[in-house]
Chains A and B, each alone.
Chain A
Amino acid sequence: MAERIHDRDAGRPVVQRASSTWPVATAVLRMVIVGIVYYLAARLGLRYALVAQNVTPLWPPTGIALAAFLVWGRGVWPGVAIAAFFVNEPITSMWAAAATAVGNTAAPLLAATLLDQAGFRHALDRIRDALLLVAVAVTAMALSASVGTASLLIAGDIHASGVGGAWAVWWTGDAMGVLIVTPVLLAIETAVHARLGLPSVARTLEAAALFLLIATVALVSVYTYLGFEFLLLPLVASAAWRFGPRGSAPAALVASAIVTWGVARSLGPLAGGSLVEQMLVLQAFNATVAITGLVVAGLMIERRSARSALERAAGDLEVQVQVRTAELSSTNARLTNEVAERREAERMLRQRERQLAEAQSLAHVGSWEWLLPQQTVSWSDEMYRIYGHTPQAFELTFEKAVEQVVPEDLERIRANLARTLAPEAEAVRPATEFRIRRPDGTERILLGRSTTQRGPDGAATRIVGTVQDVTEDKQAEREHRIAETLQRSLLPAQLPEIPGVAMAARYVPATRGTLVGGDWYDVLPLPDGRVGVTIGDVVGHGLRAAGTMAQLRLSLRAYAVEDPSPARVVGRLDAFVRRLIPSEMATLVYAVLDPVAGGVTFCSAGHPAPIVVDVDGHAAFLEGPPAPPLGSGWHESQFAEGSAFLPPGATLILATDGLIERRGTSLHEGLARLKKEVGLRSSEPVDAMCQRLVDALLGEHVDDDVAILALRSEPISAASVRLRLPAEPAALAPIRAALRRWLGHVGVDPLDSQEIVLAAAEACSNVVIHAYGAGPGVIDIEAASLEDGSVVEVTVADEGTWRTEPTEGGGRGFLVMRGFADTVWVDRTAHGTEVRLRRRLRARTPA
């Protein structure tokens, strides 16, 4: 009994065997079913009884009992026993029926036990199972036949003379029951267990036709004397062949049942002769049919399973072949891949080698390896090139390489080598610079690096290193350094201090390569008190540009002192360039600033225009008559000048194109940026303004030199004035002009002014002559109005060392100072000398 439980989760029915829940009920139900079926089959079987109403040639109940024991277990025996008793009870005595029942139960029990022991398979799908069933049926049924016959004899139902026949009929009947009925039931069980679906219509029709034919042939053979029974054998065999045990068992049952029924009714050819003869023929027929069916079915199943095993094996084989083929092809693909990869790797390696050689050549880096135990040295191609050899023509040894080191460096290199080889030395040695001489005599500067591998004993086993040819770099570096130094030395160390003019400048050398040099600026106090300012840019860079710039600067100074006209000064400079340094070209702007009148005149030779910004931040470029750069071939007279008014507090800015031009931006954009930046900073002190402009307009890397110069006219203080000018004869006139201007500004009488200026100028002359020897220096002058304007004090200071006492060699100079000053103090310290002149004014111009 089965109970269906819905597994909601899985959504499909699950069958659970209920036998464990109701074992007793199931067992009892099975016994009842077996009993009823046994009884009905027995009643049917007795209708064919050949002997004493209870011995039949085909006894189906035994087959049913055996099938029940095999399928449901031997536990159902009570059903069999009770049914067997009630079957026999009406036809014999009570105890005989009981004895028969015992025999009829014990025989199938024995058979079931023997079959289970022998490993009998219910499916009857092997010949072995068919033969087992036959053997067990023949042997075990001797038990029921013996018990039954004995019971009949004792009960007096048969005579002693008939015992043999009765026994034989009993025995064969039981055996036939087993051979014919059990397979049918087992076939049903197998079919139920295998959960076979309904056969196809064609199969059903075929089976029906076959069974109909068998039945027809059996009936024909029974009702005629044609002896057609033999025709049943191939039909049963064909049923077995077509449908296996499920076909052969029913076919055998049908054939045997009809023929047996015929014999029992004394019909057909088998019915003739004595009881024993009938029995023998009938049982031989039944046995033949049953065994044929079983054996053919077993054969057929075996053959089919062999075929399916073969097919499976063939399928497996095919799968294996496919798997193997797939393995082989993947292996092949892998191999192909590997070959391709290896080829690619080789190509990459060759490419790397080429790239390495190219990189070494580009960077002028050669590499070397020294294997110490073998004493072999190998060099890269670039290494040979650096040392001035060709790889084929030079037999390499370490000593030969060392021999090329110049004598000055040889000692150092040998010491370095010794240190490298020392067991305790560090693996990577610091880079060493040294020089070598090539076979052709040229000298190269090299930078060597190496790293050492050591054996377990600490001794160096392998040293690898690189050598970089830094000759060009070193030369470029040196040239850059010289150019920058020259450049800086040629620019004013300090800007002069001129009353009424604040000024500041910046020079930023190019940060890369030898692009330094060629930009300059200069401020020249002119004898008439005006200030000449210039800024210029020599085309080209490096030492040569710096040299050209030096010549231009000195020439301009000479011309500027002699001539107040910027156009003429620039014209003369142009002529100078054309005549004396014709291959050079430069741009420049030269402007003369009048701090008193607030005017500026200027001349530009191809240089970016100066820019003027007033206190409110309005900026404008000073556009003058255009002129080409110096050295372009213009005539002196063609240079013309422009002029502009510089209001109080306005700033004049001159710059070189490095400040304006930047990579990726147009000159126009650069000028606009400069103008904007200048406008933003018009109220800052000039020094801060210059710095801010440089910061704002220059990036981290300066591609070109930059010079910037800013001048601003400032109101003159009435209380004091300060000048700071180079200690040179040319400074004396500007000093006098500035002093006179200030003295006039503070209302000093011209006569007093003249004498004060004379005294101060003498002090300055002394500084020029005595303080600095032949070297450069500065004069620091401070004039102050004291005691409510009745006294003027002028201090002239220097930072030099006098070779004579200021009071001694001064001679007439001191005479003049003493003559025109009321008091003269001389204060001499290690840091310089200070001369203080004090004068009470004789007369004052009424304010």
Chain B
Amino acid sequence: MKDLATFTIERRDAVAILRVDGEVDMSNAEQMAEAMDLAAGEGSTVVLDLSATTYLDSAGIRLLFNLAMRLQTQRRGVRLIVPEDAPIRAVLEITGVPLLVPLETGIDPVERVP
């Protein structure tokens, strides 16, 4: 056991993939925000891979909205990867995230631009 969540950024050409392992709440939301900024700086399109995210609450959802609106305003791509059986799927749906960014179940192909 280590930090509540780990954030890893992988770059594939113009795409930056941010993978969130673990739980995100207001105690580490700031870390996630920094990771998002880094990812946004890395690639024109940002893929948020939440496959290994076990918990995400409104603090994290706020960040998702912020990132999505920022990138979409800049006409840059943003994708959310959330498997069907992901424990966080319900909270994303309830909060209306899919209305802004559709929830995808798999990451490939990464080049796909929404």
Contact = CB atoms under 8 A, between A and B. Distances in A.
Nearest to B96: A815
A733 interface: yes
Interface string B83-96: 00001001100111
A601 to B, nearest CB: 12
B61 interface: yes
B25 interface: yes
B58 A733 contact: no
A769 B59 CA distance: 11
B73 interface: no
A365 B59 CA distance: 66
Interface stretch (B1-9, B13-21, B38-46, B100-108): B1-9
B74 interface: no
Nearest to B55: A736
Contact of A736 (B1, B23, B61, B90): B23
Given A761-B57, A765-B59, A733 B1 contact: no
Contacts of B55: 736, 757-758
User: Is chain A's binding surface mostly helix, strand, loop or mixed?
Assistant: helix
A527 B4 contact: yes
A316 interface: no
A519 interface: no
B1 A765 contact: no
A816 interface: yes
Contact of B25 (A526, A755, A761, A811): A761
A811 B2 CA distance: 31
B27 A733 contact: yes
A156 interface: no
B70 interface: no
Contact of B94 (A732, A736, A757, A819): A819
A403 B96 CA distance: 79
B58 A765 contact: yes
B93 to A, nearest CB: 8
Contacts, number: 66
A528 B25 contact: no
B49 to A, nearest CB: 20
Given A528-B1, A563-B2, A732 B91 contact: no
Given A754-B87, A758-B57, A769 B26 contact: yes
Contact of A815 (B3, B25, B87, B94): B94
B94 A816 contact: yes
A816 B58 contact: yes
Nearest to A530: B1
Contacts of A819: 90-91, 94-95
B12 interface: no
Contact of B27 (A732, A758, A762): A732
A649 interface: no
Interface string A749-770: 0000011011001100100110
A811 B95 CA distance: 10
A804 to B, nearest CB: 15
Contacts of B4: 527, 733
Given A761-B57, A816-B57, A816-B58, A733 B23 contact: yes
Interface string A723-749: 000000110110010000000000000
Contacts of B11: none
A37 to B, nearest CB: 155
A8 interface: no
A820 interface: yes
A562 interface: yes
Contacts of A765: 25-26, 57-59
A813 interface: yes
Contacts of A768: 26
Contacts of A540: none
Nearest to A750: B87
Contacts of A815: 58, 94-96
A239 to B, nearest CB: 149
Nearest to A819: B94
Contacts of A733: 4, 23, 25, 27
A812 interface: yes
A564 interface: yes
Nearest to B22: A527
A562 B3 contact: yes
B94 A730 contact: no
A768 B57 CA distance: 14
A813 B25 contact: no
A729 B26 contact: yes
A813 B94 contact: no
Contacts of A754: 87, 90
A821 to B, nearest CB: 11
Interface in A805-833: 811-813, 815-816, 819-820
Contacts of A812: 58, 61-62, 95
B113 to A, nearest CB: 28
Contacts of A761: 25, 57
B27 A811 contact: no
A564 B62 CA distance: 29
Nearest to A766: B58
B24 to A, nearest CB: 10
Given A732-B26, A733-B23, A820 B2 contact: no
Given A563-B2, A769-B26, A762 B58 contact: yes
A769 B25 CA distance: 12
B27 A820 contact: no
Contacts of A732: 25-27
Contacts of A813: 57-58
B91 A564 contact: no
Contacts of B57: 758, 761-762, 765, 813, 816
Contact of A730 (B27, B62, B87, B95): B27
Contacts of B3: 562
B16 to A, nearest CB: 25
A812 to B, nearest CB: 4
Contacts of A526: 1
Contacts of A769: 26
A562 B1 CA distance: 8
Contact of B91 (A562, A729, A816): A816
Contacts of B58: 762, 765, 811-813, 815-816
Given A562-B3, A563-B2, A816-B58, A755 B26 contact: no
A459 B43 CA distance: 97
Contacts of A562: 2-3
A758 B91 contact: yes
Nearest to B29: A729
A527 B3 CA distance: 9
Nearest to A733: B4
Nearest to A755: B90
Nearest to A740: B55
Interface of A: 526-528, 562-564, 729-730, 732-733, 736, 754-755, 757-758, 761-762, 765, 768-769, 811-813, 815-816, 819-820
Given A762-B58, A765-B58, A820-B90, 20 more contacts: A526-B1, A527-B1, A729-B25, A733-B25, A733-B27, A736-B25, A736-B55, A757-B55, A765-B26, A768-B26, A769-B26, A812-B61, A812-B62, A812-B95, A813-B58, A815-B95, A815-B96, A816-B58, A819-B91, A820-B91
11 contacts: A528-B1, A729-B27, A732-B26, A732-B27, A733-B27, A755-B90, A758-B91, A765-B26, A812-B95, A815-B94, A815-B95
A-B CB proximity, top 7 nearest: A819-B94, A729-B27, A812-B58, A564-B1, A813-B58, A732-B25, A729-B26
